[in-house]
Amino acid sequence: MSVSTAFAKAKADGRAALVGYLPAGYPDVQGGIDALLALVDAGCDVIEIGLPYSDPVMDGPIIQAAAQKALEGGVRTKDVLRTVEAVAATGTPTLIMTYWNPVEKYGVERFAADLANAGGAGLITPDVTPDFAQDWIAAADAHDLDKVFLVSPSSTDERIAMTTAASRGFVYATGIMGVTGTTQATAAGVAPLIERTKATTDLPVGVGVGVSTGAQAADLAAYADGVIVGSALVRALGEGLPALTALTEELAAGVRRA
């Protein structure tokens, strides 16, 4: 299933899609795969796998700590691709969220080819905007991959239009001005950005950064096509798989409650 089909299916059910994030390699490569499979089982519609990076400027303390643990455990880019392969095999669309340098170092074209071979759906790129992504856009188009770029409350209307025009799969709207896992996004806070984004595109719009509870998911699902949760899941995984499953089920119920 593609990312856009997953969003369309959720929409047909009259609800928002649930997008779950965990970094690869945390607590170790196999443990990370098991955790991601638990997200699939507990009701995530789309999976976002973080590629651990040494200098993650958009991440708050929880994801930073998990990524650092993964790197200290020796996770490699090829392990991330292996993780994608294991998760994508379930049929749930699977994206990688990555800072740019690991992709550039791997080789943009080679990364796109290997991601496509692993069954991956595409990339979410938090530190590359379409105006500096020519290589990635070309490689993604050649390999039929999704390009998920971010829009932010501070984006001008022109930049939102430029960004959505270059996106495929969905558009990632950041719920707050801040990094992951710190402040809480509110429906009132993100509604204007979702509206401005929707005015430029028919692509689904997912809201991420600042979403952690089922109640919030329900609240945001009334405005957005998808709700993206990261830090809260990473924190739950820190407590163990049962906690992770419980939170994912709460969030999945949340997006169905709107």
Partner 1 sequence: MTVSSFDADERGWFGGAEGFGGRFMPEALVAALDELTVAWQEAMADPTFVAEFEQILREYAGVPSPLYLADRLSEKVGARILLKREDLNHTGAHKIRNVLGQALLTKRMGKTRVIAETGAGQHGVASATAAAYFGLDCTVYMGSVDTKRQALNVARMNLLGAKVVAVDSGSATLKDAINEALRDWVASVDHTAYLFGTAAGPHPFPSMVREFCRGIGDEARAQVLEQYGALPDAIAACVGGGSNAIGLFTAFLDDESVDIYGFEAGGDGYDTGRHAATIYAGDRGVLHGARTFVLQDEDGQTIESHSISAGLDYPGVGPQHAHLADVKRATYEPVTDTEAMDAMALLARTEGIIPAIESAHALAGALRVAADRPGQTILVNLSGRGDKDMGTALEYFKLGETE
Of 164 and 248, which has the nearer Cβ to partner 1? 164
Q: Shortest approach of partner 1 to residue 60 CB, angstroms?
A: 7
Q: Shortest approach of partner 1 to residue 54 CB, angstroms?
A: 4
Contact status, residue 17 vs residue 46, Cβ threshold 8 Å = yes
Max CA pair span of the chain: 44
Distance CA 78, CA 24 (A): 11
The catalytic position among 13, 28, 48, 55 is: 48
Of 100, 136, 170, 223, the residue at the interface with partner 1 (CB under 8 A) is 100
Of 42 and 111, which has the nearer Cβ to partner 1? 111
- Tell me: does residue 189 bind partner 1 (CB under 8 A): no
Determine the size of the site formed for partner 1 (CB under 8 A). 46
- Site mask, partner 1, residues 36-55, x = CB under 8 A? -----------------xxx
Distance CA 91, CA 81 (A): 16
Residues 6 or more apart in contact with residue 165 via CB below 8 angstroms: 130, 200, 201
- Tell me: does residue 186 bind partner 1 (CB under 8 A): no
- Tell me: does residue 76 bind partner 1 (CB under 8 A): yes
The verdict on whether 48 is a catalytic residue reads yes
- Tell me: does residue 69 bind partner 1 (CB under 8 A): no
- Tell me: does residue 150 bind partner 1 (CB under 8 A): yes
Amino acid at 215: A
Q: Shortest approach of partner 1 to residue 123 CB, angstroms?
A: 14
Q: Which structure tokens are listed for 50?
A: 């973080």
Stretch that binds partner 1, among 146-154, 189-197, 199-207, 240-248 (CB under 8 A): 146-154
Report the side by side order of strands in the sheet with 17-23.
146-148, 122-124, 94-97, 46-50, 17-23, 226-229, 205-208, 171-174, 150-151
Of 92, 94, 163, 197, the residue at the interface with partner 1 (CB under 8 A) is 163
Distance CA 182, CA 161 (A): 28
Q: Please list the active-site residues.
A: 48, 59
> What are the residues binding partner 1 (CB under 8 A)?
53-61, 64-65, 68, 71, 76-77, 100-106, 126-129, 131-132, 134, 149-156, 159, 163, 174, 176-179, 182-183
